[in-house]
Amino acid sequence: MNVIIIEDEVLTAERLVSLLEKYDRSIHVIAQLESVEDTLSWFSENKASAERLDLIFMDIHLEDGDSFQIIKELQLKTPVIFTTAYDEYTIKAFKVNSIDYLLKPVTYEELAGAIDKFKSLKAMLGGSNTLVANEGLLKLNQFLSEAEKPPAGRYRERFMITVGTKIRSIKTADIAFFFLEEKTVLLTTFDNTTLPVDYSLDKLIQTIDPRDFFRINRQFIVSLNSIQLVHTYSAGKLKLDLKPKPRQEVFVSGDRITEFKEWLGK
């Protein structure tokens, strides 16, 4: 089976490759792509490989847009399994076709079930990928004709965090701040528990409610409820006292001070 992975989070893509190898070592991942632009270029430059594709694993939000653009521009005939950071309510809204949607972090059982579903559908339709895709994407294309993007106003209500062999569910409302440390994104809850998050800060800020969270600099996204005091330094520099106390001093970037003050006043 030939597949490609379209995913802008490197760790997520690598984990998906590992799960595919566990499911079936004969599965060949012929490309790992990180953006809409990369994907469109790959299909343009690798037409022979694209014709041999059996299945695509696709994140919904990418660095430069969403994967629905890819489907529309390429008029894809290849079956797609989506992996997404959306909450379960939104997942149900999208689960209208016969191709599956997997909530991150994807478990082996979910992945295996999705591929089994694809194989069963393909067998029922005489082994044709095109028929599988047409069946699977029919309602999705109808949805896209009604709206260019997923329903607005939906934000993450919880995060599924993998810690060793366990998965923890963390409510977004319990998170004080997200921060980048040594190339790893972490979250800290109000009870001062720190855990790794399998998303970049750029991705996170797209999926959490902007009324509750603000990206104050390149390393921190803070919750409004975590801010205890705002200190003004010379040249208008702002320092924040957060609760719980972070491992380092936290400042608002100079180019974000005006927007930050507006956010505080809302």
Kindly report, residue by residue over 59-117, the tens digit of the pLDDT. 888 888 888 888 888 888 888 888 877 654 344 435 434 467 788 888 999 899 989 88
Q: Supply 186's token pair.
A: 């972490």
Contacts of residue 261, defined as CB under 8 A and 6 or more positions apart, other chains included, come to: none
Q: What is the pLDDT of residue 129?
A: 63
Length of the chain in residues, anyone?
266
For domain 2-146, the CATH architecture is 3-Layer(aba) Sandwich (3.40)
Residue 138 clears pLDDT 90, i.e. is over it: no
Q: What is the pLDDT of residue 78?
A: 84
Residue bearing the bigger pLDDT, 197 or 61: 197
Domain ranges of the chain: 2-146, 159-265
CB 73 within 8 A of CB 48: no
Q: What is the pLDDT of residue 182?
A: 86
The rounded distance, in Å, linking the Cα atoms of 233 and 197 is 32
Residue bearing the bigger pLDDT, 183 or 56: 56
Q: What is the pLDDT of residue 144?
A: 43
Calculate what percentage of the chain has a pLDDT beyond 90: 46
The rounded distance, in Å, linking the Cα atoms of 266 and 244 is 23
- Antiparallel, parallel or unpaired: β 101-103 and 80-84: parallel
User: Could you report the per-residue pLDDT of 148-171, keeping only the tens digit for each?
Assistant: 344 445 788 888 887 776 778 899
Calculate what percentage of the chain has a pLDDT beyond 70: 82
Query: Edge-to-edge, what's the strand order for the sheet holding 220-223?
Result: 194-196, 184-189, 175-181, 220-223, 213-215
Give the lowest-confidence range in 31-45, 93-107, 150-164, 243-257: 93-107
- Please say whether the dihedral angle defined by the alpha carbons of residues 203, 204, 209 and 211, taken in this order, is positive or negative: negative
Stated pTM of the model = 0.54
Q: What is the pLDDT of residue 17?
A: 95
Q: What is the pLDDT of residue 177?
A: 98
Q: What is the pLDDT of residue 96?
A: 38
User: Could you report the per-residue pLDDT of 203-234, keeping only the tens digit for each?
Assistant: 899 889 999 999 999 999 999 999 999 998 76
Summary mean pLDDT of the chain: 83
Average pLDDT over residues 20-28: 95
C-alpha dihedral over 134, 136, 137, 138, to 10 degrees?
70
Q: What is the pLDDT of residue 20?
A: 96
Average pLDDT over residues 185-213: 92
Pinpoint the alpha helices (H) of the chain: 10-23, 36-45, 47-51, 67-74, 88-94, 108-124, 129-146, 201-207, 257-265
φ, ψ of residue 88 to 5 degrees: the values are -65, -30
Q: What is the pLDDT of residue 24?
A: 95
The rounded distance, in Å, linking the Cα atoms of 170 and 189 is 8
CATH of 159-265, one of 3.40.50.2300, 2.40.50.1020, 2.60.40.1730, 3.30.530.20: 2.40.50.1020
Residues facing residue 242 across a β-bridge: 227
Same fold, 2-146 and 159-265: no
Residue 143 clears pLDDT 60, i.e. is over it: no
The rounded distance, in Å, linking the Cα atoms of 213 and 171 is 14
